[in-house]
């Protein structure tokens, strides 16, 4: 090789090595930058989560100090009595000045602090409530004068975050209260505590990486249910007399069923949703709505009465000027009731079926007419539920979780939404023959309802309370509740019984459900009452009758009855 050739060869080799080295070091730099970014973002997330947890702790410490101070000069001898009052009794006593807003407030605060320690159900004590308490005298004419109220965290509250368990929503305080809270404050209620939910709200368990898992008041090894699980646990354990949840697939009703309280999903639009933070904005196929949760049906009705007023319509003119019909709520004429105790295509536990059968018998004895009702086109509806709530294949849901650690309760769902699109298309193709062409589900259901001349429908609600992390694996049960969000019918649940040894034995044939609900003897069992859109008062009236009949039957049967009903004050 001549000198020139040697020179060119060495030059090429050198350049080759150099460009490789440049490429390699470039890639390494890029990788390092990504790694640093990732580490920083993890650190930032952790910092935000820790800050939120500290804020929560601080709110509890301030509340504890205020309570101690109050107790030094006020002996709180009425506490047990106050906690035993229903919402109607409580409002009456407050309005007649037989009780003061202060003693009611501090009694509930003390109970809430105690319950939260056991169940981890609250995300914050609302410290502004101490200020509101000082000026509450000006609201004496309000329907809920002096009543302490609990709120699910996704209801906007001025100067407070609504994180929905998503780290990127932390440190974004709201500019204003949501409409429902504004109206309730005008009615004299004092929102004093905010409650827990599952991360990103689209699950019926109750855990998130910021505030952790909420436990069931009836069995600490079970979830409180969700997504309004913090509310259900707090109310079920006696720490709140009335609270607000939200419901797009059963979120006010399922945790109510798990925790033995009443929960109501009104017709969407009847109550204002303005300021109720949701993960999917603009989604119209399956409608979300706020709804009340309480220990008895009268409390739900009183809440509706307090909210449905001119001020709500003024603040949110998308809601109808349709005053609460007290006459209809109080009426007791006999009803024609459609019923079903299972849905063929959806898992139903033995206690869900038994609950419906027992209530059906009581309603018949009370002179109502019970007619078998088959839910129409449930698979079409299931398809619409998934397509409506997850029209983008879960992309928005996953987007919300970006930059957040994912809570274990969501693992099954997230794994499903992360399946490659081609695989999902293959799955959809395979499943397609089992689903007929989506029909007009709303009109088909109404037509069947009219054919049978029904007033209301009695049916099961998901229960009993699940073991942790199983809710996300059993989305196939969601049609029990979500059907009425898709149809936009109103629906509510009432606790009616408890799981028996026989229910538990019968569970062994249901492979899918076994692991999720095994070990449930003694847990609450509820039923669901449904009415047509805008017939909210009729739905509540039906719930009230179920509640009364069950209470009376259990009283007649005595305490050793097979399947004890959860009476209002059992857990105090
Ligand atoms: C026969 C099998 C059919 C399976 C159909 C499954 C459809 C599932 C589609 C989406 C999953 C939604 C889960 C909903 C759980 C309830 C959660 C809830 O109501 N969250 C409230 C959200 S809100 O925006 O605050 O109202």
DSSP code of residue 561: -
Q: Is 70 exceeded by the pLDDT of residue 193?
A: yes
* CB-ligand 1 contact for 285 (6 Å cutoff): no
pLDDT band at 2 (very low <50, low <70, confident <90, very high): low
Residue 201 marked as a ligand binder: yes
Residue 227 marked as a ligand binder: yes
Average pLDDT over the chain, rounded to whole?
91
What is the DSSP annotation of 262-284?
EEEEPPBTTB--TTB--SSSS--
Q: Is 90 exceeded by the pLDDT of residue 493?
A: yes
Task: Determine the atom of ligand 1 nearest the C-alpha atom of 152.
Answer: 25
User: Which secondary-structure segment (H or E) carries 220?
Assistant: strand 219-223
Q: Which of 74-83, 423-432, 497-506 comes out lowest in average pLDDT?
A: 423-432
**pLDDT value of residue 439:** 60
Q: Which of 13-27, 48-62, 182-196, 371-385 comes out lowest in average pLDDT?
A: 13-27
DSSP code of residue 145: T
* CB-ligand 1 contact for 386 (6 Å cutoff): yes
* CB-ligand 1 contact for 273 (6 Å cutoff): no
* CB-ligand 1 contact for 481 (6 Å cutoff): no
* CB-ligand 1 contact for 179 (6 Å cutoff): no
List, for residues 273-295, the tens digit of each pLDDT value: 999 998 777 777 889 999 999 99
Using alpha carbons only, what angle is made at residue 184 by residues 178 and 190, rounded to the nearest 5 degrees?
Answer: 105
Q: Is 90 exceeded by the pLDDT of residue 558?
A: no
pLDDT band at 566 (very low <50, low <70, confident <90, very high): very low
pLDDT band at 404 (very low <50, low <70, confident <90, very high): confident
**pLDDT value of residue 527:** 98
In the set 59, 129, 150, 152, the catalytic residue is 152
560 CB-near residues (< 8 Å, 6+ apart): none
Average pLDDT over residues 435-446: 73
**pLDDT value of residue 82:** 98
**pLDDT value of residue 178:** 98
Residues making up the chain, counted from first to last: 572
**pLDDT value of residue 563:** 47
Looking only at the bridges linking them, the beta strands covering 122-125 and 190-195 are antiparallel
Q: Which of 13-27, 245-259, 468-482, 529-543 comes out lowest in average pLDDT?
A: 13-27
86 CB-near residues (< 8 Å, 6+ apart): 241, 295, 296, 298, 299, 568
- List, in sequence order, every beta strand (DSSP E) within 313-415: 336-339, 369-372
- Quick check: 190 and 101 in contact, CB under 8 A? yes
More confident residue, 423 or 242: 242
Helices 101-119, 87-95: inter-axial angle, 10-degree rounding: 150
In the set 129, 227, 299, 349, the catalytic residue is 227
252 dihedral zone (left: phi>0; alpha: psi -120 to 50; beta)? alpha
Q: Is 60 exceeded by the pLDDT of residue 438?
A: no
Q: What is the pTM of this model?
A: 0.90
555 part of the active site: no
CA 183 to chain centre: 21
* CB-ligand 1 contact for 484 (6 Å cutoff): no
Average pLDDT over residues 403-421: 88
Q: Which of 60-69, 414-423, 478-487, 515-524 comes out lowest in average pLDDT?
A: 414-423
Q: Is 80 exceeded by the pLDDT of residue 469?
A: yes
For the chain, what percent of residues have pLDDT higher than 90? 73
Q: Is 70 exceeded by the pLDDT of residue 15?
A: no
- Quick check: 199 and 208 in contact, CB under 8 A? yes
240 part of the active site: no
Q: Whose CA is nearest to atom 12 of ligand 1?
A: 202
Task: Determine the atom of ligand 1 nearest the C-alpha atom of 154.
Answer: 25
More confident residue, 269 or 24: 269
List, for residues 72-97, the tens digit of each pLDDT value: 999 999 999 999 999 999 999 999 99
Q: Which of 188-197, 230-239, 411-420, 426-435 comes out lowest in average pLDDT?
A: 426-435
Q: Which two tokens stand for residue 432?
A: 């397609």
**CA–CA dist 430, 393 (Å, integer):** 17
Query: 3-state class of 473 per DSSP?
Result: helix
168 part of the active site: no
Interval between CA 550 and ligand 1 midpoint (Å): 29
Interval between CA 418 and ligand 1 midpoint (Å): 17
* CB-ligand 1 contact for 87 (6 Å cutoff): no
Interval between CA 204 and ligand 1 midpoint (Å): 8
End-to-end CA distance of the chain: 98
In 226-339, where does DSSP find H-type helix?
A: 229-236, 253-259, 297-307, 310-315, 326-330
Q: Is 60 exceeded by the pLDDT of residue 436?
A: no
pLDDT band at 498 (very low <50, low <70, confident <90, very high): very high
Task: Determine the atom of ligand 1 nearest the C-alpha atom of 280.
Answer: 24
Interval between CA 89 and ligand 1 midpoint (Å): 35
**pLDDT value of residue 279:** 79
């Amino acid at each position: 090789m001549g000198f020139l050739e040697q020179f060119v060869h060495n030059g090429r080799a050198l350049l080759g090595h150099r460009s490789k080295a440049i490429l390699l070091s470039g890639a390494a730099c890029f990788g390092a930058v990504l790694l640093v970014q990732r580490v920083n973002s993890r650190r930032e997330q952790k910092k935000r989560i820790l800050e939120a947890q500290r804020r929560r702790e601080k709110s509890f410490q301030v509340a504890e100090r205020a309570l101690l101070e109050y107790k030094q000069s006020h002996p709180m001898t009425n506490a047990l009595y106050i906690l035993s009052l229903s919402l109607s009794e409580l409002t009456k006593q407050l309005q007649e000045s037989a009780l003061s807003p202060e003693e009611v407030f501090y009694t509930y605060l003390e109970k809430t602090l105690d319950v939260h320690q056991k169940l981890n159900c609250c995300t914050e004590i609302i410290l502004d409530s101490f200020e509101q308490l000082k000026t509450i005298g000006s609201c004496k004419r309000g329907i809920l004068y002096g009543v302490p109220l609990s709120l699910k965290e996704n209801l906007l509250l001025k100067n407070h975050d609504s994180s929905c368990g998503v780290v990127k929503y932390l440190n974004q305080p709201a500019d204003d209260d949501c409409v429902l809270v504004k109206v309730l404050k005008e009615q004299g209620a004092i929102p004093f505590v905010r409650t827990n939910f599952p991360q990103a709200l689209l699950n019926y368990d109750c855990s998130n990486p910021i505030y952790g898992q909420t436990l069931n008041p009836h069995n600490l090894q079970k979830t409180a249910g969700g997504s309004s699980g913090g509310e259900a646990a707090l109310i079920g354990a006696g720490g709140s007399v009335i609270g607000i949840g939200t419901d797009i697939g059963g979120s006010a009703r399922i945790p109510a069923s798990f925790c033995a309280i009443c929960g109501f999903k009104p017709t969407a639009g009847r109550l204002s949703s303005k300021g109720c933070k949701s993960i999917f904005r603009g989604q119209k196929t399956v409608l979300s709505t706020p709804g009340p949760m309480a220990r008895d049906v009268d409390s739900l009705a009183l809440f509706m009465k307090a909210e449905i007023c001119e001020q709500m319509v003024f603040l949110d003119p998308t809601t109808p000027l349709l005053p609460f019909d007290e006459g209809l709520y109080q009426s007791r004429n006999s009803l024609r009731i459609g019923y079903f105790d299972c849905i063929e295509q959806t898992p139903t536990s033995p206690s869900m079926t038994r609950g419906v059968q027992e209530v059906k018998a009581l309603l018949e004895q009370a002179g109502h007419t019970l007619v078998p009702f088959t839910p129409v086109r449930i698979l079409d509806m299931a398809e619409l539920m998934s397509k409506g709530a997850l029209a983008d294949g879960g992309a928005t849901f996953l987007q919300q979780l970006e930059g957040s650690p994912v809570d274990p309760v969501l693992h099954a769902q997230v794994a499903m939404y992360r399946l490659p699109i081609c695989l999902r298309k293959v799955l959809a193709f395979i499943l397609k023959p089992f689903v007929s062409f989506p029909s007009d589900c709303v009109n088909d259901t109404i037509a069947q309802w009219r054919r049978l001349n029904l007033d209301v429908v009695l049916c099961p609600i998901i229960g009993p309370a699940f073991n942790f992390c199983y809710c996300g694996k059993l989305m196939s049960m969601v049609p029990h509740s979500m059907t009425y969000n898709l149809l936009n019918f109103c629906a509510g649940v009432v606790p009616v019984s408890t799981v028996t040894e026989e229910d538990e034995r019968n569970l062994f044939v249901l492979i899918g459900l076994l692991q999720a609900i095994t070990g449930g003897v003694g847990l609450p069992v509820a039923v669901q009452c449904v009415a047509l859109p805008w017939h909210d008062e009729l739905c509540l009236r039906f719930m009230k009758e179920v509640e009364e009949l069950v209470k009376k039957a259990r009283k007649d049967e005595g305490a050793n009855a097979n399947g004890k009903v959860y009476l209002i004050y059992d857990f105090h």
